[in-house]
Structure 1
Amino acid sequence: MEINDMKELKWPVRMRSPPESRDMNTYCEFHRDHGHTTKNCKALQREIEALIKKGLLSSYIGDSNSGRKQYARQYALAFRMPHGKLEDITVGTRDLEGVSLPHDDALVISAIVANFEVKRILVDNRSTANIISQEAFTKIGISSQHLKAVKTPLQGFGGGVITPEGVIELPLTLGSG
């Protein structure tokens, strides 16, 4: 499903076996037909191998930091919903009230996420992922069934590897509208 929009992907011709001889309890997303599962689709496996050999799926193979970051960016872009006019968010001198200068403190904000106020959000421009804790996710009241599976491991704050529970797109409100 992650590569179905690639223009280099060659979709298969219709399945040749008669429909009445196929297993109607299985479905292949690649063939868009019944008869076998997507996981067991030999034509899809051959097509993926061809795309790998062409170097078009390099972000999905190997175990490098740059590969994982590229995969995360592609995933984020693929599921980004079109929004209206986007405006820059800037932090100016008026926002420095109570801050001793010079400083290298992290930027921590509050925002409305999915109609729920989330406090202590760490803003990190270098991060390739926006992470919400399980505790905050539970308090927002969204079922984990809404999460989409993701296979990209993340390096945790302490240096360990963390496997996310999944990804979800949530509405976000910053400022007073």
Structure 2
Amino acid sequence: MGDEIRWPRPPVERQLWRKDSKKKCEFYRDIGHNTEDYYTLRMEIRRLYEQGELSHLLPRGGNQQDNVGSAKPTAPPTCTKIINVITGGSDISGLTYSAAKRRATETKEDRPEISCRVSHSNLPVVAFDEEDIHDSQEHHDALIITLSMANCTVRKVLVDTGSSVNLIMLKTIENMGFSEKDLQKKTIPLVGLSGEITNSLGEIVIPTYAGGINKQVRYLVIDGPSTYNVILGRPWLYLMKAIASMYHQCVKFPTPWE
């Protein structure tokens, strides 16, 4: 803290033989006690903090060590009603209503043995910090990235954690050099948020490169106006073991090298 702190007077050099030489105080420049144990230093730091002289070291509103453990979480409100959702399942995710019903009627002996053992790999930890923030201002932007797909640079790619499929527009694959003849005919009804239904034209597998990883990704092709060229949903995120952060405006996933 340099000259901002009001340093005490040097101690009188007497009775040094009674003090513990293993404990040193940088504030009093003396031995016998540790710096972090001294009450006077804490009061001095609090005085400087209240005067705003340590704003670059202890910013107001931040996570301060003095506040750790002092606040308690608010108790949850009282639940008066439970709202369930009745659905027929999804052919895309492989769970239909009839399959779920059969699953529910199976006995424990009929079900296959499932191992709960978790394999520990050497994959790096995926985490976000303040250095990943590109714009410190408040925003509500969607997460839009640029990808290399089939040797083409495709912009306006939306990463949507709420989508159960990967979508690509018919016009996009035509600009990439594909046609409807390259599609595997498969009509799947896609239900939007408001309940509107759009049928897919088919499926196509396109090599998708991201961060040094090249994966064969399966997309559903739809024909219609769209703000985005591609929508990457949960299948791509699971395939890449990726974590998307709307707040940080970036996607991270583990690779063999970082």
| TM-score class, shorter | 0.3 to 0.5
TM-score by length of structure 2 reads: 0.33
TM-score by length of structure 1 reads: 0.46
Larger strand share, 1 or 2: 2
Larger helix share, 1 or 2: 1
Q: Flag the structure with larger Rg.
A: 2
